[in-house]
């Protein structure tokens, strides 16, 4: 909310500023910078929010420029209609690029987007009949006046300026609305933690593609405006000279924020013009400024200003969740569950081979509705591998998994999640840069309203669902005792609180079966006690739970049943008392007695 | 020889170690035992410089090695054989050993390989084989041999028995004793508590990032406390 | 050495920026590609222009006012050129602008000159430059149409079978050169174009092209390749055993090329905008002035174009008065009729001087006018 | 023999030669990508500097051509190490930032070259007989054979360096398992710098070799960089043989495209091949590329 105000304040200032500037050259530079802001906004979606190094993405700016130029000049479309059409056209082309490149990840993905940008460049350069080739397209109609007689906006430059500010405001509203919807949350989730996102039903590739295409659409509109502002477009707009500038603007301004792309476009968009004083040494300075910005301002100008403005920002202390109302909720009764029902999960003959190593061998068991099942065993026994197979992260070599009557063997992680299974990870896995509440809100993805029309229009149904999500998030945080930390960034939480946050995230999915991977590891005794209460309370609410744990007191006191794995084999299955007296179990844990001191 | 006091270290903002203090005297075998997540491996990683520590002190052979870089620590004669062996599986046994002696001049490393082969004849047989294609026990042997290449005065072994058959575990135990006989001090992290306590002189029990108990290994061996730390019985 | 020279240009431009307006000079705003792939051509043009302006100033300027050249680098990027044109007009208050190289930059920035009603020059031979509906643009040089017509006539008169292969650079200039050439050759029925293609400015290997020309049995070769790429190309032509009469436009006139690939060039027909072997008084004056300001360096055709730009503008101000506004200057320019190193400059309706080109033949290791 | 086949054979031979140069560029990119997990956007400018260094050595220091190539490799390596120190080390762990910082370095290096050597293309004069050798339908010049042989020698030398020397092993170890490598007493920062230096040396060598056939100018590195990228993505990280094969495939494909399609489209060939391979074998390529950002 705060940044939204800042953005519109900034735009209003820029708008007002335009009246103070009378020199047409400065007006021109400012106008072009405003147009660039559309592209940085679009780039920000895929690079800043979804975190994908789409280095070739700014080429879509030029695609939009060509689309609108050709529509007006070849097909005779009205300028504003052509600009509006440039968005979807660019988005359509970007879909093809996204499909080819987003199969790769990280730097390789980045390089392929560059390759795609090069292909587009060569096509525009050589398809002379269509694009005009290296000559470019000249005499593109300028943005027409909306009305000849606006009393308060007499001259054309101001009209266009105000119009651009309004359009940019509209684009910002659009981005803002997306970011406050399941779309934005999915992008952030993919950026912050892909495996966790997948476990919450957010298919990473699909959401990257959506972000890529949405961003390209915005850039395309920007490019179209650019074409009609400067009246010319040619293939050099697709070369690295142009592409690099967009990245300087976004990173310099602050990627991943609402304000950053606008500030970056305004400041760094004008920079090359300011640097004209250096004449032919201009690139030397531009490169130097780029390197210095990256080194000295890692989160751009906006990040730097934010830190200067509120020095308090990153709390030095590690924040700890207070013991929540878990004690009051549910019957914190350590006794056995009363209502153990029919089987919810059936594992049949699951085996997993990694190269020559048999990590799991013919595992069979059932989990009944409302049960808490403990999964224990020494390091390397195959417990986490089993979890990975159940949740679709790893494909089993053999065997079958049935969940609530559906065969989920080797389904992808997001699809397993959609069936109602959620998990936590052995190594703490949260969305570190987001707040506690945002973390949990992301997890509601599967049951949120993702209809694009409802999101954009902000329909009643959409708002009602978002309110329901907010309610559920605060309910979950109350339950897990994190309510007081709702606005703290997850990375600033104590380890114990992060463990609780993981459980909270899993609960956000409204799952039926919860898999906990070493939830108590590293917790102190009071935190462990709190966790135990929470687990029991969840069981009493009807959730079925499987927990991997090394803390035996936790397992003994919480679980209805315990399965012991060793070297990939199930060596025991029974109640706490049965398991703890099993000779094979003791041997597995303490080591064999065979060793004779030398 | 190694003196750790009040060491605080961890990953990200979490402190996996919350003030660990322990010491190792020359010629000893000292073992660290404790449940998963107790901070055993983190202690070794902090000592060898793989993670940065936040506070405390680490003194080795009279030198302050707190937050020194890993190669400085290796140069000082303190070598860490990591959990899971971490061999370079696509390189041969000989190449792995050669890398183990990276801190030494090349000629010295080459002659040192012969010494390692003399103590581990099995490795000589496999010298040209890819490390990744050997059995678990052989891999562990290579990992230890690779650690010895740098001529350490103190060798830190992290879970050498992990994932090995009982018979091989006992061989590893013997190997550790042989190493000590050759004059190398050993700091051993083990999950296989019985084996570790039998071959070591002293032991520290870690829980939640701190030392909860320490003493002569023989006295800890039949202690109920240890059973508790492991099985929660 | 090179560094010192570049720094000198740099210093001159800096000085131009910061120059005090003591004598209130007439400002000539030049936006040119000094960096980027065609930076070396832009640099030559700038030197020629500066030599011309220095010459005019040494003759006392116009009505007591001297000229000042404000140089701004466009990197050869049209979008940059538009910003430069705006800046030159609105901030530097130039009375005339000159957006030179590449042709697309000249094209792109014409709308700026038209809107501000400021006369504009811009060195390019691309035909479309004068078709932008901008009455303020003038081109006091030759153009591709004239060059191609000249060469087409040469080709038609050759005793060959006249199987023509065309090759030019894949940029604004090369694209229009080939298009116009094909059109020009259409009026000679016995001439057959058997091959045409474009090469990249960054291209290093021409052997595929020459092999294909050979396979097409071409005997008359129109190769628009710039030095030093041309040396490589000529060598590769010999490598693949391609033989034929070379018929070329501006780009094969180069003394260094003659030195390094002389034998390969033997018999070639070459057009040039201007060449230092010209011995008319205007050319002599130009060469002398240029060598004085550039350490004895011999100017090339790009430099000659720069010199002509200076002469045309000085003449127009002389007739319109030193304080003429854009409109008056435009009128004066339209009435231009002067002699210059490239010949008589007189603009047609479109503002195109259509200056004649020089036809040369390379024989016995030297260029000879025809 | 039909002219079509003659052209095809000639172009296959030419493509193999061009491919070796691509391999040099790609190896430099790969060694940096494999070890630091970053993309060096200044690689093209190191290629360009290689050309200028060789030019300067031949025309000003008056050394012979082969010495100048070696000098160019060393000088480019020094610049590469400098680039690592200035624009990569402060940003380690932020691959996208490193990408842009090296892009910034590329802008600066291009501009510096322009200020030092000026915008005119320069020629390295190399002492080769220009009369071509004719073997059946194939024309070859001494210079091209030299470039091919030199590039292959450099690739093999590099492979031997990685395979047989202890430093080479350390580099491989660092790219496979950083922590384990550190525990061997390997100084990571020094090797990071070394890997940049090596990559730069390879690029510089390529620039010096090609600069002798074609001219040297400030923007000459842009295209080879792109080709290097294409080869790296095609080949995947970790296999020198894979890089060499991919580079040769790319070179030959481009050569044939130049003969039978049009020269103005050849630069698209690299990228279209890349995209097609990705469409058909997305798994294969992803599997080959081991580490991601």
Interface pTM (ipTM) of the complex? 0.88
Residue A577 confidence (pLDDT): 85
Residue C9 confidence (pLDDT): 55
Cα nearest neighbour of D263 on chain A: A126
Spatial contact of A461 and A301, defined as CB atoms under 8 Å apart: no
pLDDT band at A315 (very low <50, low <70, confident <90, very high): very low
CATH number at residue D112: 1.10.3470
Chains B and C touch (3+ CB pairs under 8 A): no
Q: Which CATH architecture has domain A345-420+513-518+553-590?
A: 3-Layer(aba) Sandwich (3.40)
Cα nearest neighbour of D267 on chain C: C200
Distance in angstroms (rounded) separating the CA atoms of residues A9 and B5: 54
Look at A234-238, A298-302, A409-413, C112-116 and tell me which has the smallest mean pLDDT. Answer: A298-302
pLDDT digits (tens, 9 = 90+) for C23-53: 589 999 999 999 887 888 899 999 999 999 9
Between A351 and A274, residue with greater pLDDT: A351
Distance in angstroms (rounded) separating the CA atoms of residues A3 and A14: 16
Contact A134 C78 (CB under 8 A): no
Check whether A87 has a pLDDT greater than 70: yes
Contact C72 A125 (CB under 8 A): no
Pair (C223, C327) in one structural domain: no
- C370 within some domain: no
For B149, list phi and psi in degrees, rounded to 5: -55, -35
Between C177 and A337, residue with greater pLDDT: C177
Pair (C244, C201) in one structural domain: yes
Contact C207 D116 (CB under 8 A): no
Residue A4 confidence (pLDDT): 73
Total domains present in chain C:
2
Give which of A221, A213, A271, A219 is closest to A245, Cα–Cα: A271
Q: Which residues, in sequence order, are bridge partners of residue C61?
A: none
Task: Give how far C7 is from chain D: nearest CA, Å.
Answer: 7
> For the residues D257-277, what does the mean pLDDT come to?
82
Between A336 and C29, residue with greater pLDDT: C29
Residues in CB range of A252: below 8 A, 6 or more apart: A264, A267, A268, A290, A293, A297, A300, A301
Q: Model pTM?
A: 0.90
Check whether A370 has a pLDDT greater than 50: yes
Pair (C291, C164) in one structural domain: no
Distance in angstroms (rounded) separating the CA atoms of residues D217 and D51: 8
H-helix or E-strand spanning residue B18: strand B17-24
Spatial contact of B124 and B138, defined as CB atoms under 8 Å apart: no
Check whether B232 has a pLDDT greater than 50: no
How much of chain D, in percent, has pLDDT values that exceed 90?
A: 53
> For the residues A450-477, what does the mean pLDDT come to?
94
Pair (C20, C138) in one structural domain: yes
For C122, list phi and psi in degrees, rounded to 5: 165, 115
Which regions of chain A carry the CATH code 3.40.50.300?
345-420+513-518+553-590, 423-511
Minimum-distance CB partner of D99 among A110, A115, A123: A110
Instruction: Give the three-class secondary structure for A333.
Output: coil
Minimum-distance CB partner of D14 among C202, C207, C232: C207
Residue A149 confidence (pLDDT): 58
Contact A522 B37 (CB under 8 A): yes
- Identify residues of A whose CB sits under 8 angstroms from chain B CBs: 318, 378-380, 428, 432, 491-495, 498, 518, 521-524, 550-556, 567, 580, 586, 589-598
Look at A47-51, A61-65, A186-190, D4-8 and tell me which has the smallest mean pLDDT. Answer: D4-8
Ordered strands of the C26-32 beta sheet: C67-73, C26-32, C96-100, C120-121
Residue A339 confidence (pLDDT): 57
Minimum-distance CB partner of B86 among D166, D180, D185: D180
Spatial contact of B18 and B55, defined as CB atoms under 8 Å apart: no
Pair (C132, C230) in one structural domain: no
Q: Which CATH architecture has domain A423-511?
A: 3-Layer(aba) Sandwich (3.40)
Q: Which domain holds residue D136?
A: 3-288
pLDDT band at C7 (very low <50, low <70, confident <90, very high): low
CATH number of B1-77+192-233: 3.40.50.300
Residue A318 confidence (pLDDT): 47
Give which of A254, A186, A238 is closest to A214, Cα–Cα: A186
Give which of B141, B143, B64 is closest to B99, Cα–Cα: B143
Most confident residue range from A114-128, C331-345, D239-253: C331-345
pLDDT band at C11 (very low <50, low <70, confident <90, very high): low
Contact B231 A524 (CB under 8 A): no
Cα nearest neighbour of A489 on chain B: B13
Interface test with B, best of D167, D183, D290 (most B CBs within 10 A): D183
CATH number at residue C135: 3.40.50.2300
Interface test with A, best of B36, B38, B176, B212 (most A CBs within 10 A): B36
For A353, list phi and psi in degrees, rounded to 5: -120, 130
Give which of D2, D1, D25 is closest to D250, Cα–Cα: D25
H-helix or E-strand spanning residue D133: strand D133-135
Q: Where are the domains of chain B?
A: 1-77+192-233
> For the residues A215-239, what does the mean pLDDT come to?
95
Ordered strands of the A561-566 beta sheet: A421-423, A513-517, A544-548, A372-376, A561-566, A569-574
Tokens of D137: 């339908």
Q: Which residues, in sequence order, are bridge partners of residue C42?
A: none
Give the strand pairing for B185-189 and B29-34.
parallel
Residues in CB range of A147: below 8 A, 6 or more apart: none
DSSP string for C54-93: HHHHHTTTBTTBPEEEEEEE-TT-HHHHHHHHHHHHHTS-
Show the beta-strand stretches assigned E in A41-133.
none
A320: left (phi over 0), alpha (psi -120 to 50) or beta: beta
Pair (C101, C170) in one structural domain: no
Spatial contact of B39 and B210, defined as CB atoms under 8 Å apart: yes
Check whether C20 has a pLDDT greater than 70: no
- C363 within some domain: no
Tokens of C156: 């038609």
> For the residues B37-46, what does the mean pLDDT come to?
87
Give the strand pairing for A569-574 and B2-9.
unpaired
Distance in angstroms (rounded) separating the CA atoms of residues C47 and C38: 15
Spatial contact of A239 and A45, defined as CB atoms under 8 Å apart: no
Look at A286-290, B47-51, D136-140 and tell me which has the smallest mean pLDDT. Answer: D136-140
Check whether C8 has a pLDDT greater than 60: no
Residue A332 confidence (pLDDT): 40
Check whether A328 has a pLDDT greater than 80: no
How much of chain C, in percent, has pLDDT values that exceed 70?
A: 93
Q: Would you call C198 an interface residue with chain D, using a CB distance cutoff of 8 Å?
A: yes
Q: Would you call B75 an interface residue with chain D, using a CB distance cutoff of 8 Å?
A: yes
Mean pLDDT score of chain D: 87
pLDDT digits (tens, 9 = 90+) for C189-224: 999 999 999 988 777 778 889 989 998 999 999 998
Pair (C169, C264) in one structural domain: yes
Contact D118 C40 (CB under 8 A): yes
Check whether C305 has a pLDDT greater than 90: yes
Cα nearest neighbour of C207 on chain D: D11
Pair (C14, C122) in one structural domain: yes
Residue A598 confidence (pLDDT): 30
Between A316 and B129, residue with greater pLDDT: B129
Interface test with A, best of D232, D233, D277, D286 (most A CBs within 10 A): D233
Q: Which domain holds residue C311?
A: 2-142+279-346
pLDDT digits (tens, 9 = 90+) for A147-179: 655 555 556 777 888 889 889 999 999 999 999
Minimum-distance CB partner of C78 among A26, A136, A272: A136
CA distances in angstroms from A353 to A362, A390, A568, listed in the order given: 11, 15, 10
Q: Centre a 10 Å sphere on the Cβ of residue A92 and count the other Cβ atoms it contains.
A: 15
Give which of C103, C92, C130 is closest to C114, Cα–Cα: C130
Residue B99 confidence (pLDDT): 95
**CB-CB neighbors (< 8 A) of A28 in chain C:** 83, 86, 90
Pair (C76, C121) in one structural domain: yes
pLDDT digits (tens, 9 = 90+) for A89-111: 999 999 999 988 887 887 778 88
Check whether C97 has a pLDDT greater than 60: yes
Cα nearest neighbour of B232 on chain A: A552
- D293 within some domain: no
Q: Helix A525-540 crosses helix A460-480 at what angle (to 10 degrees)?
A: 130
Neighbours of chain A (3+ CB pairs under 8 A): B, C, D
Give which of B13, B50, B10, B27 is closest to B210, Cα–Cα: B10
């Amino acid at each position: 909310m705060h940044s939204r105000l800042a953005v519109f304040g900034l735009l209003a200032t820029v708008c007002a500023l335009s009246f103070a500037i009378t020199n047409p050259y400065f007006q021109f530079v400012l106008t072009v910078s405003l147009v660039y802001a559309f592209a940085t906004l679009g780039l920000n979606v895929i690079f800043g929010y979804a975190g994908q190094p789409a280095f070739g993405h700014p080429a879509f700016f030029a695609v939009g420029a060509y689309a609108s130029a050709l529509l007006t000049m070849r097909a005779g479309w009205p300028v504003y209609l052509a600009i509006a059409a440039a968005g979807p056209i660019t988005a359509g082309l970007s879909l093809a690029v996204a499909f080819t490149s987003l199969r790769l990840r990280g730097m390789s993905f980045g390089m392929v987007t560059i390759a795609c940008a090069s292909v587009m460049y060569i096509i525009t350069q050589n398809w002379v009949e269509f694009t005009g080739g290296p000559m470019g397209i000249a005499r593109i109609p300028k943005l027409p006046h909306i009305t000849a007689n606006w009393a308060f906006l007499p001259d054309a430059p101001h009209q266009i300026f105000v119009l651009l500010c309004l359009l940019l405001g509209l684009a910002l509203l659009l981005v803002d609305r997306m970011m406050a919807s399941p779309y934005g949350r999915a992008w952030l989730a993919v950026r912050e933690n892909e495996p966790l996102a997948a476990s919450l039903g957010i298919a990473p590739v699909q959401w990257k593609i959506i972000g890529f295409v949405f961003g390209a659409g915005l850039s395309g509109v920007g490019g179209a405006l650019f074409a009609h502002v400067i009246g010319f477009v040619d293939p050099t707009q697709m070369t690295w000279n142009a592409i690099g500038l967009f990245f300087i603007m976004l990173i310099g301004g602050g990627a991943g924020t609402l304000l950053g792309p606008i500030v970056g476009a305004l400041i760094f968009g004008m920079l090359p013009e300011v640097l004209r004083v250096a004449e032919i040494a201009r690139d030397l300075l531009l490169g130097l400024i780029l390197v210095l910005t990256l080194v000295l301002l890692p989160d751009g100008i906006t990040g730097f200003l934010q830190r200067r403005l509120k020095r308090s920002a990153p709390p030095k202390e590690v924040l700890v969740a207070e013991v929540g109302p878990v004690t009051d909720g549910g019957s914190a009764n350590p006794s056995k569950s009363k209502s153990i029902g029919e089987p919810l999960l059936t594992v049949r003959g699951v085996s997993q081979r990694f190269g020559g190593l048999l990590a799991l061998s013919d595992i069979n068991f059932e989990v009944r509705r409302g049960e808490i099942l403990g999964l224990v065993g020494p390091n390397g026994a195959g417990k986490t591998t089993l979890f990975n197979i159940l949740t679709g992260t790893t494909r089993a070599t053999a065997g079958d998994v049935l969940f609530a009557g559906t065969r989920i063997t080797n389904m992808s992680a997001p699809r397993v999640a959609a069936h109602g299974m959620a998990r936590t990870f052995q190594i703490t896995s949260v969305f570190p840069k987001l707040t506690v509440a945002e973390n949990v809100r992301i997890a509601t993805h599967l049951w949120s309203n993702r209809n694009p029309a409802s999101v954009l229009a902000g329909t009643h149904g959409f708002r009602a669902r978002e309110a329901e999500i907010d309610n559920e998030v605060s309910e979950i945080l109350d339950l897990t005792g994190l309510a007081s930390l709702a606005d703290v960034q997850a990375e600033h939480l104590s380890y114990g609180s992060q463990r609780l946050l993981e459980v909270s995230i899993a609960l956000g999915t409204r799952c039926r079966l919860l898999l906990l991977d070493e939830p108590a590891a590293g917790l102190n005794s009071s935190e462990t006690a709190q966790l135990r209460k929470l687990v029991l309370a969840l069981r009493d609410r009807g959730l079925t739970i499987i927990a991997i744990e090394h803390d035996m007191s936790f397992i003994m006191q919480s679980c209805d049943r315990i399965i012991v794995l060793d070297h990939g084999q199930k060596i025991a299955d029974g109640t706490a008392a049965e398991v703890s007296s099993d000779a094979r179990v003791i041997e597995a844990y303490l080591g064999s007695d065979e060793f004779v001191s030398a | 020889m190694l003196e750790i006091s009040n060491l605080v270290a961890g990953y990200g903002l979490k402190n996996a170690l919350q003030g660990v203090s322990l010491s190792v005297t020359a010629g000893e075998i000292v073992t660290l035992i404790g449940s998963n997540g107790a901070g055993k491996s983190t202690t070794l990683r902090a000592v060898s410089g793989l993670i940065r520590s936040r506070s405390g002190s680490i003194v080795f052979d009279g030198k302050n090695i707190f937050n020194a870089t890993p190669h400085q620590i290796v140069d000082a004669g303190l070598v860490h054989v990591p959990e899971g062996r971490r061999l370079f599986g696509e390189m041969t046994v000989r190449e792995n050993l050669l890398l183990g002696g990276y801190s030494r001049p090349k000629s010295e490393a080459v002659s040192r390989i012969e010494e390692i082969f003399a103590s581990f004849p099995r490795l000589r047989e496999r010298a040209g084989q890819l490390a990744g294609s050997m059995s678990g026990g052989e891999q562990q042997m290579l990992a230890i041999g690779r650690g010895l290449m740098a001529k350490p005065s103190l060798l830190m072994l992290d879970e050498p028995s992990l994932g090995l058959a009982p018979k091989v575990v006992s061989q590893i135990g013997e190997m550790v004793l042989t190493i000590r006989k050759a004059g190398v001090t050993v700091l051993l992290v083990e999950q296989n508590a019985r084996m570790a306590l039998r071959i070591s002189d002293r032991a520290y029990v870690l829980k939640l990032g701190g030392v909860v108990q320490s003493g002569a290994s023989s006295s800890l061996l039949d202690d109920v406390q240890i059973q508790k730390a492991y099985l929660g019985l | 050495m090179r560094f010192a020279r570049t720094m000198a240009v740099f210093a001159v431009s800096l000085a131009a920026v910061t120059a005090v307006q003591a004598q209130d000079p007439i400002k000539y705003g030049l936006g040119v590609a000094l960096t980027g792939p065609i930076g070396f051509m832009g640099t030559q043009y700038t030197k020629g222009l500066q030599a011309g302006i220095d010459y005019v100033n040494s003759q006392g300027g116009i009505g007591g006012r001297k000229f000042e050249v404000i140089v701004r680098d466009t990197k050869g990027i049209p979008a940059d050129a538009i910003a430069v044109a705006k800046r030159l007009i609105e901030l530097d208050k130039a009375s005339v602008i000159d957006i030179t190289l590449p042709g697309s930059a000249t094209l792109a920035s014409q709308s700026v000159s038209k809107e501000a009603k400021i006369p504009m020059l811009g060195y390019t031979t691309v035909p479309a430059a004068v078709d932008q509906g901008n009455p303020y643009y003038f081109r006091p040089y030759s153009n591709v149409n004239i060059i191609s017509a000249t060469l087409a006539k040469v080709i038609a008169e050759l005793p060959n079978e006249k199987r023509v292969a065309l090759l030019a650079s894949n940029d604004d200039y090369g694209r229009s050169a080939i298009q116009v050439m094909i059109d020009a050759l259409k009026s000679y029925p016995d001439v057959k174009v058997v091959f045409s293609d474009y090469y990249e400015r960054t291209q290093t290997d021409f052997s595929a092209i020459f092999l294909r020309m050979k396979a097409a049995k071409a005997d008359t070769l129109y190769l628009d390749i710039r030095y030093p790429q041309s040396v490589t190309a000529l060598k590769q032509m010999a490598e693949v055993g391609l033989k034929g009469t070379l018929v070329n436009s501006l780009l094969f006139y180069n003394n260094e090329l003659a030195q390094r690939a002389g034998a390969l060039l033997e018999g070639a027909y070459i057009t040039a905008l201007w060449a230092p072997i010209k011995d008319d008084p205007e050319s002599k004056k130009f060469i002398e002035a240029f060598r004085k300001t550039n350490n004895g360096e011999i100017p090339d055709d790009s430099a000659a174009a720069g010199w002509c730009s200076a002469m045309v503008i000085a003449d127009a101000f002389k007739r319109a008065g030193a304080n003429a506004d854009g409109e008056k200057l435009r009128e004066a320019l339209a009435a231009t009729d002067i002699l210059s190193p490239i010949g008589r400059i007189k603009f047609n309706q479109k503002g195109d001087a259509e200056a004649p080109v020089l036809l040369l033949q390379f024989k016995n290791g030297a260029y000879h006018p025809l | 023999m039909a002219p079509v086949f003659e052209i095809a054979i000639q172009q296959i031979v030419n493509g193999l030669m061009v491919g070796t140069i691509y391999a040099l560029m790609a190896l430099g990119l790969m060694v940096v990508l494999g070890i630091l997990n970053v993309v060096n956007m200044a690689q093209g400018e190191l290629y360009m500097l290689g050309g200028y260094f060789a030019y300067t050595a031949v025309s000003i220091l008056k050394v012979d051509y082969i010495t100048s190539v070696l000098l160019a490799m060393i000088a480019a390596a020094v610049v590469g190490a400098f680039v690592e120190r200035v624009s990569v080390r402060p940003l380690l762990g932020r691959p996208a930032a490193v990408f842009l910082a090296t892009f910034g370095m590329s802008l600066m290096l291009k501009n510096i070259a322009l200020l030092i050597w000026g915008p005119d293309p320069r020629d390295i004069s190399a002492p080769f007989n220009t009369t071509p050798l004719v073997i059946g339908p194939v024309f070859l010049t001494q210079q091209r054979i030299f470039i091919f042989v030199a590039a292959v020698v450099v690739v093999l030398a590099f492979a031997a360096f990685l395979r047989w020397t202890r430093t080479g092993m350390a580099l491989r170890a660092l790219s496979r398992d950083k922590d384990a490598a550190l525990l061997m007493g390997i100084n990571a920062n020094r090797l990071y710098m070394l890997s940049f230096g090596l990559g730069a040396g390879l690029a510089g060598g390529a620039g010096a070799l090609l600069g002798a056939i074609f001219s040297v100018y400030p923007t000459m590195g842009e295209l080879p960089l792109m080709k290097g990228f294409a080869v790296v993505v095609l080949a995947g990280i970790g296999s020198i043989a894979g890089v060499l094969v991919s580079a040769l495939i790319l070179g030959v494909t481009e050569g044939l495209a130049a003969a039978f399609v049009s020269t103005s489209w050849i630069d698209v060939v690299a990228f279209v091949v890349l995209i097609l391979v990705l469409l058909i074998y997305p798994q294969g390529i992803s599997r080959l590329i081991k580490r991601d950002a």
